Amino acid sequence: MNLSHPRLRAIGGPVAVVALVLVAGLLVALAADLVRWDRTMNDDDIAYASRAPATWSPETLLPAAMSRGILGLGDDLEIRGTIDQFWKSDPRAPLQVFTDVTRRTAAERRIARLMETEDRADRRSILANLRGALLLEEARNSPVQRFVFVRRAIEQFQRAAELDRSNTDAVFNLELALKLLRETGGGTGGTGDRRAPLPSPGSGSSSSGSGF
């Protein structure tokens, strides 16, 4: 086929112009969505830290899934969603009905799954700290196996502290868990209702929307 034919050139010109306009429009929309995602992630992190509702879901020009994928925000949203599920499992509350158990178990499984795939040390530190906090709650609710759960919690807090030295929640929880372990007397005593403080909502969140 002769692409230099006048009619082909006449058709190719408008098509190229339309394609360029579409690409330019896509880039403009993507740039606008970048600003919206960044602002929403920042604002919702602040709101969540103050225990206000947060969705981390802006109104976007492009389909949200498209802009989220192009901007690579999947990991950022997953860590936030995992922390949110941890808190929605109401880790402080005693287990009274079966739904309490399933909600707590679902949060623990999500944390464990993300620990296996997360590459960032600071995020893995946060996740390990959450696992340790859940194990301390198990210790409080399981007098017979309290010593075992406290030891497992200590392992998670140590891991969290090693992954991120700036994770003060993990360091504090580790110190308290070690104290509780000593108070058990090798598993013969009780820890009462004293519990390590759980990480605050939004703990470790960045202000730029780039991750926790």
pLDDT in tens, 144-183: 888 899 999 999 999 999 999 999 999 999 998 998 888 7
What's the pLDDT score for residue 190?
43
**% of residues, the chain, pLDDT over 90:** 47
pTM as predicted: 0.75
What's the pLDDT score for residue 191?
41
d(CA 139, CA 135): 6
d(CA 155, CA 200): 21
SS3 string, 22-81, reads: HHHHHHHHHHHHHHHHHHHHHHHHHHHHCCCCCCCCCCCCCCHHHHHHHHCCHHHHHHHH
Considering only residues 139 and 20, tell me which one the structure prediction assigns the higher pLDDT: 139
Cα 58 to the center of its chain, rounded Å: 18
What is the chain's mean pLDDT, rounded? 81
**29-54 average pLDDT score:** 90
SS3 168: helix
Looking at the predicted structure, is the pLDDT value of residue 206 above 50?
Answer: no
What's the pLDDT score for residue 154?
94
What's the pLDDT score for residue 174?
92
Looking at the predicted structure, is the pLDDT value of residue 197 above 70?
Answer: no
Label residue 2 left, alpha or beta by phi (over 0 means left) and psi (-120 to 50 means alpha). Answer: beta
Looking at the predicted structure, is the pLDDT value of residue 24 above 50?
Answer: yes
pLDDT in tens, 71-113: 899 999 999 999 999 999 998 888 888 888 899 999 999 999 9
